[in-house]
């Protein structure tokens, strides 16, 4: 026999809801065994800015290759790195 889930109260603010969940167990309010995986296809992975020093001739070559493909050179670098990582 499964236990009856409690009703989640209405909250006046996000702070009030946060305080509530800090002191209550969500399993009393939700049957997580029935949870389903969710796919969020429009989410972009988080990125981090880095600084990379390249010889000028190498950067010029990358920019020329990107220009020939009509893509930003930073995007081309990311594609090449991804391809190399998975090859």
* Residue 1 in this model has a pLDDT that exceeds 50: no
**DSSP-assigned letters across all residues of 42-77:** TPPPP---------HHHHHHHHHHHHHHTS-HHHHH
CA distance 54 to 73: 13
pLDDT for residue 2: 59
User: Taking every pair of C-alpha atoms in the chain, what is the biggest distance, in angstroms?
Assistant: 71
pTM, two decimals, is: 0.50
Model pLDDT for residues 9-57, shown as the tens digit of each residue: 999 999 999 999 999 999 999 888 889 999 888 888 888 999 999 999 9
* Residue 4 in this model has a pLDDT that exceeds 90: no
Contacts of 47 by beta carbon, 8 Å cutoff, 6+ apart: none
């Amino acid at each position: 026999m499964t236990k009856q889930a409690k009703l989640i109260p209405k909250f006046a603010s996000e702070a009030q809801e946060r305080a509530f969940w800090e002191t209550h167990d969500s399993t009393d309010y939700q049957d997580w065994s029935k949870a389903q995986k969710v796919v969020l296809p429009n989410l972009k992975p988080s990125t981090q800015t880095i600084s990379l020093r390249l010889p000028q001739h190498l950067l010029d070559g990358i920019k020329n290759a990107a220009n020939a493909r009509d893509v930003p050179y930073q995007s081309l670098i990311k594609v090449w790195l991804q391809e190399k990582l998975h090859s």
